[in-house]
Amino acid sequence: METFKQILPQFKDVKLVTGRDDYEQIYQSEQQSHSAWLLDEGELIWEFIEQLAKADDESSYDKPLNLYDFHIAYNLKFPVGSVSLRNGSEVLQSVQDFSELLNAVIRSSDGELNVLVKSAQLKIKILQQFIYLRIFLSVIVDNQTPSKVSGDVGVFGTKKAGKSAMINALLGDEYAVSSPILPTPNKVIYTAADKKVNKISLTYKNSTRTFSDIDALQKFLTEENSLANKNSSTLDEMTIALPDFPTFLNGARLIDTPGSNFAAGKGHTDIIRKTLAEMPNAVFVMNYSQYLTQDELKLFDKIYKQFNSSKVKRPILIALNRVDEIFDSEESKSYERVADYIHYRLTALGYENFLVVGVSAIQAVYFDSVTRLIKLKYRNKIVSKSLEIIEEIECRLNASPLTKFLSHFSAREIIDRIEMALEGVFTKPVPLDEQLKNLKIDLQGTEKFSSVVFVNNILTDFEDFHGITINNVRELPKINRINYLKWLLHNFINGKI
């Protein structure tokens, strides 16, 4: 079961910066990646990082600045008595600005912490700073009873923004057809299958069919999407029920929609309009490399107006997708620069009540896939070794039925023997690069080969561009912020933020 606990900052200190005069302080700091750097509200993070990167290129310091691991947010100023930190229902401290709040959080690392604020506007501003600093901590409006929102999560965006890849990243596997040449031509509802059913089912055109695996589902969807693409038409609504539906959605359904600029006449806009009217939660997928196109702005405006006219004014979650493509220049290595620039652009246009999270859906999908392949490889090794042990015991007893040798050994003795035989598997972890090399050999010529190559290339980029070496498969989720998007959705659905 997928669970989301609060993740508190691991910073050793909080440092205030005001602009260009503080570049020297940042370069000379021995705790660049262990400090939270807070910028005055009068400055702009994206401009500060661009200038910081430029100054870094021109500096004579031996150790370059690692912008990927550089944590920066705004030092928001709060009206007196408007923001406080709580542990459960106990108020620990009222704070005057974000630096005071962050220091209070760092000191109060025990218990179920949350931030209490006086207005929804303050809540959104603080949550955005938590996103920049990668902190999972709930922010609650005082005297406002959080109500669980029953309903769905709609995923919207323009064509080729990566909506279907985002769907797959949230679902944890490649269910949706994600292709630059086959855009989604209809509304597709992903929901949990009946617990008694262990197969994927698709309800479409008043009939239901089942699929033995994801590949069979993908083949059917690709054929249908190809036909729609050929005819420049939309398709009927589909409902896909999954046995392994993610628990973080807490029963809410996940809805994929056509791109707003999909070339299918008026049909696609009708689908978007009707779906949007039903949605209590929305994820707006943007293409990071486009920096807010007119098509994206037009669709965002529709979503924004719909949400601000509803009774439940939920923030719009902007998933700034494809940020795996941030290796072109030094300043681009910062997720925060990209997210803050989009936040700045939309705020300047008069929008509010939205949050921006930089993610890479395709990274998340492939990392999940490779993680499963690695676990499967070890599971097969464990099963194989266990069978060898059983066969050895059977041979010594001169008996083939399992029940005979079980009568000679206690369950504890059998478990101890298996653990001894498998000790090397668990105590001597194979480096990730070696695991990927072995997987590439095993999977050459199969469809999964491309997933392993993609992850291998991404890890090479992280080492070459960020100086980060990943040695364990457990570290993979740390290099992608898709979990923050999941955490936000989980808490919105459950009325916790």
Pairing verdict, β 254-256 and 188-192:
antiparallel
- The one-letter amino acid code at 263 reads A
Q: How far is CA 231 from CA 185, 222, 228, 270, in A?
A: 11, 14, 5, 18
Q: Is the Cα dihedral 406, 408, 409, 410 positive or negative?
A: positive
Tell me, what's the pLDDT at 1?
47
Tell me, what's the pLDDT at 179?
78
Asked whether the beta carbons of 252 and 495 are under 8 A apart, the reply is no
SS3 287: strand
Round to whole Å and give the CA distance between 475 and 477.
6
Please write the tens of the pLDDT for every residue from 366-392: 877 777 777 666 656 655 665 666 566
Let me know how long the chain is: 497
User: 153-360+481-493 architecture in CATH?
Assistant: 3-Layer(aba) Sandwich (3.40)
Round to whole Å and give the CA distance between 366 and 417.
36
Please write the tens of the pLDDT for every residue from 288-319: 877 788 999 999 999 999 888 766 667 899 99
Residues of the chain short of pLDDT 70, as ranges, are 1-9, 20-21, 28-33, 56-65, 109-110, 145-151, 262-266, 310-313, 326-333, 375-430, 462, 464-468, 470-480, 496-497
pTM above 0.75, yes or no: yes
Asked whether the beta carbons of 355 and 124 are under 8 A apart, the reply is yes
Residue ranges per structural domain of the chain? 1-144, 153-360+481-493, 364-479
Q: Return the residue matching tokens 């501003």.
A: 125
Asked whether the beta carbons of 375 and 382 are under 8 A apart, the reply is no
Round to whole Å and give the CA distance between 380 and 157.
41
Asked whether the beta carbons of 202 and 190 are under 8 A apart, the reply is no
Round to whole Å and give the CA distance between 305 and 302.
5
Asked whether the beta carbons of 246 and 170 are under 8 A apart, the reply is yes
- The one-letter amino acid code at 369 reads S
